[in-house]
Amino acid sequence: MPGGKCWMKVFDLDADSTGPGSTIPGMLNAARTLLRQTFGFADFHPQQAEVIAAILAGHDALVLMPTGGGKSLCYQIPSMLLDGTGIVVSPLIALMQNQVLALRQAGVQAEYLNSSLDYGQQQAIEMRLRSGQLDLLYIAPERLLLPRTLELLGQLKLALFAIDEAHCVSSWGHDFRPEYLQLSVLQERFLGVPRMALTATADATTRRDIVAQLGLQQAAHYISSFDRPNIRYLVEEQQAGREQLLRFLDQHHPDDSGIVYCLSRKKVEATAQWLNLHGRQALPYHAGLLHAERDQNQVRFMNEAGLIMVATIAFGMGIDKPDIRFVAHLDLPRSLEAYYQETGRAGRDGLPASAWLCYGLQNVVRLRQMLEASEADEAHKRLERRKLEAMLGYCEMIRCRRQALLAYFGEQKSQPCGNCDCCLYPPRVEDGSVYASKALSCVYRSGQRFGAGYIIDLLLGKTSGRILARGHQQLSTFGIGTELTALQWRSVFRQLLAGGLLSTDPEGFGVLRLTEACRPILQGQQPLQLRLEQPDRKKAAPRRSKILQRPALTGVDEQLWQSLCQCRTQLARQYGVPPYLIFHDSTLHAMVEERPADLNQFSCLSGVGQHKLEHYGAIFLQILQTHSSPLFSGD
């Protein structure tokens, strides 16, 4: 099996040409050959080549690339070329296992050290590490920081340190991991070993924190476009959340695998059960399940087609299943960073995918309650409040959602994307100054002591027991809002919250209060544009546009596709790996379209490296030849 340092012989590189400071063009040529022969890709993306060149030259790097953008290759290939072993700091066992399985399928010498291994297995891996047999070793930060591990690594030749999911380093990060803060020890103890921090999502504040915590002040920053054009962004106002979810699935993804995120464990369980009762096979995943059940559900999701995982945010990091066709949120995410990272798990293979979000005002109240109840200091809470407001503002957007999402990460997109609900079905927008003034006045007149539901009842002139008991039917604002429906008023209040004209109480009870920013609106000095849904109009999910339509297969092509998929599934079971680690869907599509006639042509398909060619090429060629025969085609 080809792997690791034997590639130095393949490229006929001497020792000097593989160390930091050697001729970079020659090293990059070697890296491209490795990319083609091991991973089956024709060439690097421009940013990948720049990062790899920097690491091969011995420099540090901060790398931001979207999910599916090829971050892993930025440290995997230098680890295979440079003398020594690349150490990858990874936060989750699942993430390590998935990446190591994928590398082994490509013929790369990779291992991981974590608590899933027994003592004998760990000793065997350490022996391979000491003898220089490994290209890459994946390890959790907790194990890396053990004195014994640091001492062991200090005795070895190391190619690089790659700190994956680097946003965990940041004290402001949305997946904060305390052990990551101690990784500055790498700078102190391993002078001269290149270090790189990689993540799919980090705003400017988080990036500054990563640099400070890891001592990467001299590192070059490589920030790729955050745009994922294959993902369609859809947002709906929550009315009957589960029914809306089922309608979305039926219209867009009747047979696809995907993830549904919920805020609470209870909602995860209820939603999974409800989907199963309505004909969709769904599995729950949250931290309250037994470890064995979580593992079993994750393995099924990775290996079986058409399954839906209903989960809290405990699920997702390290899930590199490429054919997740949708990510749905039944609750509002905590921040745009979290939303971007979670939705980025859809469509990693570059094929069309959907990010669907259903939210309501109650989501905001619940998230504020959780935020205020946390043990974080006031500075952290203040930042998280701003992030939540930005998330709510995104939901109430009246222009292209992709432009707004990219702008949050400091990237400007000149033209609307044409692939979000705001572009496809522009909302009704009008001067809402009068509505805003009525809503704000009603909050003020009632004493700034009530939530949106009560204020809406006042605006609509409802004589409920609570209103009569307080005598609020006598207020000047009672019944002044009958021109809008209750649903429309809820939209108005969400937009006022998103615009910072209203705030909720710090205790998290949903009480609405005026802010200083609302004064110009109340005084009639400033117009305000609001989006308003037509009353009594049911919001239909957008139909598929061309970008969401994968090429339809018919006749012989469809039969060939099914045979290839069946073969892939059988091989995956034989080798104990998820089917996509044999070949991605995109590679199977290429087989159908290009119909390679021999191993040489088969080797030119994207995703077919030397190891996979040797192990699987003849098997898939036999299927292709069978389906090309006159007997099969009916000619």
pLDDT at 554: 64
4-223 folds as: Rossmann fold (3.40.50)
Rounded Cα–Cα distance for residues 441 and 479 (Å): 12
Output the CA torsion sign for 313, 318, 320, 321. negative
Give domain limits for the chain.
4-223, 231-359+397-424, 429-531, 550-633
Rounded Cα–Cα distance for residues 139 and 90 (Å): 6
Contacts 24+ apart (CB under 8 A), 542-550: 542/234, 542/421, 542/424, 542/425, 543/251, 544/252, 545/232, 545/418, 545/419, 545/424, 547/229, 547/230, 547/232, 547/352, 547/418, 547/419, 548/232, 548/252, 548/352, 548/354, 549/352, 550/351, 550/352
pLDDT at 176: 55
3-class secondary-structure state, position 236 = strand
429-531 folds as: Arc Repressor Mutant, subunit A (1.10.10)
Query: What's the average pLDDT block by block, 10 residues per block, for the chain (635 residues)?
Result: 32 39 71 92 88 93 87 94 94 84 92 90 93 94 92 94 88 62 88 92 83 90 90 90 94 94 94 95 93 89 92 78 93 89 90 92 75 75 79 85 88 90 87 92 92 92 91 93 89 81 69 89 87 55 45 74 92 90 90 92 92 93 80 43
pLDDT at 552: 61
Phi, psi of 529 (to 5 degrees): -85, 130
Architecture of the 550-633 domain: Orthogonal Bundle (1.10)
Are 403 and 422 in contact, with CB atoms under 8 Å apart? no
Q: Give the strand pairing for 326-329 and 258-261.
A: parallel
Return the bridge partners of 235, or none.
Answer: 357
Same-fold call for 4-223 versus 231-359+397-424: yes
Does domain 231-359+397-424 bear CATH number 3.30.300.30?
Answer: no
Output the pTM of the full model.
0.76
Q: Which helix (H) or strand (E) holds 62?
A: strand 61-64
Are 35 and 43 in contact, with CB atoms under 8 Å apart? yes
